[in-house]
Structure 1
Amino acid sequence: MIPAEVNQSSMQLLNAHPQASTLPEDCKRASIDRSGYLPDSFADGVVFARSTEDVVLAMELASEYGVKIVPRGAGTGLAAGAAARRGEVVLDVSKMNQILSIDPIEQLAVVQPGVINATVNAAAGELGLFYAPDPASTAICSIGGNIATNAGGMWCAKYGVTRESVLALTVVLPDGQLLHTGRRTIKGVAGYDMNALFIGSEGTLGIVVEAVLRLRPKPIRTATTVAYFADQSRAAQAASAIISARLQPSVLELMDGPTLTAVDGAMGTNHRELGGALLLAQTDGFGAELEMQALVDAITPLATRISRAEDEAQAEALMEARRQAIPSMEKLGTVSICDIGVPRSKLAQALAGLAEIGEQRGVRIFTIAHAADGNLHPVIVVEPGQSITSGPPKAALGDMFYLAQRLGGTLTGEHGIGLLKQDWLEEEIGSRSLRLQRSIRQVFDPQEILNPGKGI
């Protein structure tokens, strides 16, 4: 039974689609992502797609009846890109979660959008391969969501972000037509790069239903080191020293003192006792140990303690501590996770600026960073139930953008614009670029039914 407050166009779609639900618990759950944003109302209903045909039917009906559609994967987005409200229907593709094939010779995987990132890596690992984009949320985030935001992760220091690992896509357009982009070859330059256009488009141009992923050989060797510093400034200087030495670690992650305290509280570790900030580094390949020694030499003058992992178990424990940073903060309250990027030489200045913003706005800020590419994640933690979209938290988010801007950086490195960063988008990309990008969106979605108000 569809509630009376559902608008007529949504009702027509939901009545016609066999995979639709209007259960209040389904609507609420599908309307919220991991960003901390709470919409003022929830979606009219949810379509739980199980096949490409389900997505095609949903978009054909949406086009016919003029229904606003919010695409959704695992719901782990951090910019409210999958948040939904009354008058909208969520198209959930999380049940499209199959690895369709893996070709170990060509080193390719063909997957549906709901497949969890870690599942792809587990399957690839059995064949001596791996999928490089490795968000800290690898255990819970989906490939479709990674594609929507052009996600990065800990290995992007060496292997690049999602765009470098997606060779081809099958996309359902807003009118229900299928579009194939890219190719199954490593190289190919015929025509405009439509594949890259969809990667990072936040579900505003079409809905990915299949992806061809590029896999890579698992490194023959990996070396892991953790270094502790008196404070975050020295840790940032150490990261810059590594870059200046022209080293290319596969992982280089920074966690500040408040983050270490949160991780220790959640995991029972003692990182904060060992220093005021931490750098976690990995090198890989045949020369992993030699490169790690050069890395250690570069940071030794700045570090108070340096320890190398003696085996794979110790290395994985250190990586897990980094992956658990945000879940550890979530135990302390509601989180708002920012995503600024700055030139790598400005990392120390960015960290100092973030500490100043926290003091001036009276908010708690915990900072983690992909230090090798200058992508910082300052996390505002407020009391449970407190708004992150008004008052000091919202002001602090604006301050963070202007800080990145002053340092020659960007509003977002890998989380996207969603709803939370709309206020500052035009200031970064400029009005002319924004008009052109909106014109592109209009070509694909003239009815403006896909993910309204998000991204561009």
Structure 2
Amino acid sequence: MTRATMAELAALLPSGAILTEPADVEPYARDQGPVLELRLPDAVVWAETVDQVQQVVRWAHTHRVAVVVRGAGTGVSGGAHATAGCIVLNLERMNRIVDIRPLDEIAVVEPGVINADLNAAAAAHGLMYAPDPASYRISTIGGNVATNAGGLRCAKYGVTRDSILALDVVLADGNLIRTGVQTFKGVAGYDLTSLFVGSEGTLGIVVGITVRLRYLPHSVQTLAAFFPDVQAAAAGVLAVGQARVQPAIMELLDGMTLTALDGAHGSNLRGRGGALLLIQTDGFGADAEAAVVRRVLTSLGGTVDAQDVSEAARLIDLRRHSRGDEVDDEFRVGEDVAVPRSQLVHYIAQLERVASDHSVLLKVVAHAGDGNLHPTFWVSTAEGEQGVARLELALDESVRLALAVGGTITGEHGVGQYKLRWLPWEQGEQVLEVQRQIKDVFDPRGILNPGKAITARA
């Protein structure tokens, strides 16, 4: 990018809204996903208004400069990794809750609004924004939209797409469109809103979001059910479903995860059992549903305890930290597959076999209520390249096994850059080509987050 071109960009923005020095842009060059090849952006740009976003995109369109949109950088699939010659457009400063309409049960927000902040504002009206990814304290609504994020409450309330009614989107040429409706129902024309949700910034830049709010539950009951092993806990998930109870939260943590949490947080989860099924019921029927869950899980050999408010909050918070922090003495790879719930027990057994066959360690956490698993494989860094090679083999086999039972390569984290190698395993060439054609319609110059979400033509 020439100095004159960069000066033209800088002239569009307020003072202090652009960084160009390598040391300054490096912290914004990646999200939390694995890095295949680190690239530095030519610039990092902060926009504070829709008009500024439009001006930056028009500039990029004119000069054919790639634009990678970034929020808080909490993604784990490389969807916000910088690409060669790009600018990173940061929307964190577009963080206004524009409107909350309690009678309509909707809110209008900018993309930089933090998930937890929206929930705090909605709670004043007896409402909540249902999607709650583990990073909800720091993740942005715009980022949630980009990946169609899920979270703990998705067992009952669904993923982000189920709570998005309308979007304001800046297209690749800088024009602004509004999709969707202000009502809970609406089927006029093609559903462009759903198309943009989960598109990872490859079709347009979301600058306004109208979300559906839900009622804050009248009552909540949290149960901790400890089982001897993870397969027994997974069987409990199916048993609760067969009892026709719909928990708001149904999370599964295996023994290795419990041990890791104990070591990091001083808890004593592993001493209570070999696996934990953490269940929360809510609403006016919370007590009755919890009683059914307790009876069902106890009959399967679970040790089931009701948790008081403080202990329930602690357990939920521990679950949110179950992914773990990066450490220097381990090579780790984590995944985000989903399988039909009927396959949970079988698939977890297969994961344990894979770990054994490839001599790698494994821990499993899952949004068990909807079959979304986050297995993590790891080896000691002392094993060097041989250990990494075994990790990759285990990871690839785990993905193929998920697909073999009717699953998917990603339940909520998105394809990003890292999972592109697996996308053709799940989707046929005709489907992939249709997606490329859609990309061509919305982004004919290929400037919006290139190299992410869909595979390029051969």
- Return the TM-score normalized by structure 2: 0.94
Determine the C-alpha separation between the residues in 1 that align with 2:341 and 2:239: 10
Determine the C-alpha separation between the residues in 1 that align with 2:285 and 2:272: 29
Shift of 1:42: 1.5
Label 1:389 to 1:179 Cα distance change in 2 as closer, same or farther (>3 A): farther
Answer yes or no: is 1:323 the counterpart of 2:313: no
Equivalent residues in 2 for 1:146-157, closer than 5 Å? 146-157=144-155
Label 1:388 to 1:110 Cα distance change in 2 as closer, same or farther (>3 A): farther
Shift of 1:383: 5.3
Equivalent residues in 2 for 1:12-411, closer than 5 Å? 14-18=9-13, 19-37=17-35, 39-310=37-308, 312-328=309-325, 333=330, 335-381=332-378, 391-411=389-409
CA contact (8 A) 1:115 1:142 kept: yes
SS at match of 1:379: strand
Shift of 1:28: 1.1
SS at match of 2:178: strand
Shift of 1:188: 0.7
Shift of 1:87: 1.2
Determine the C-alpha separation between the residues in 2 that align with 1:391 and 1:437: 32
Label 1:314 to 1:264 Cα distance change in 2 as closer, same or farther (>3 A): same
SS at match of 1:253: strand
CA contact (8 A) 2:41 2:87 kept: yes
Answer yes or no: is 1:429 the counterpart of 2:409: no
Match of 2:411 in 1: 413
SS at match of 1:185: coil
Determine the C-alpha separation between the residues in 1 that align with 2:283 and 2:403: 36
Shift of 1:331: 8.3
Please tell me the root mean square deviation across aligned C-alpha atoms, in Å: 2.1
Match of 1:449 in 2: 447
SS at match of 1:283: strand
SS at match of 2:318: helix
Determine the C-alpha separation between the residues in 1 that align with 2:428 and 2:386: 26
User: Kindly, what percent of the aligned residue pairs are identical?
Assistant: 46
- Return the TM-score normalized by structure 1: 0.94
Aligned length: 450
Determine the C-alpha separation between the residues in 2 that align with 1:331 and 1:227: 33
What letter matches 1:425 in structure 2?
Answer: L
SS at match of 1:327: coil
Shift of 1:397: 2.4
Determine the C-alpha separation between the residues in 2 that align with 1:387 and 1:277: 32
Uncovered stretches (5+) of structure 2, i.e. residues with no partner: none
Uncovered stretches (5+) of structure 1, i.e. residues with no partner: 1-5
Determine the C-alpha separation between the residues in 1 that align with 2:361 and 2:78: 21
CA contact (8 A) 1:113 1:208 kept: yes
Determine the C-alpha separation between the residues in 1 that align with 2:394 and 2:81: 22
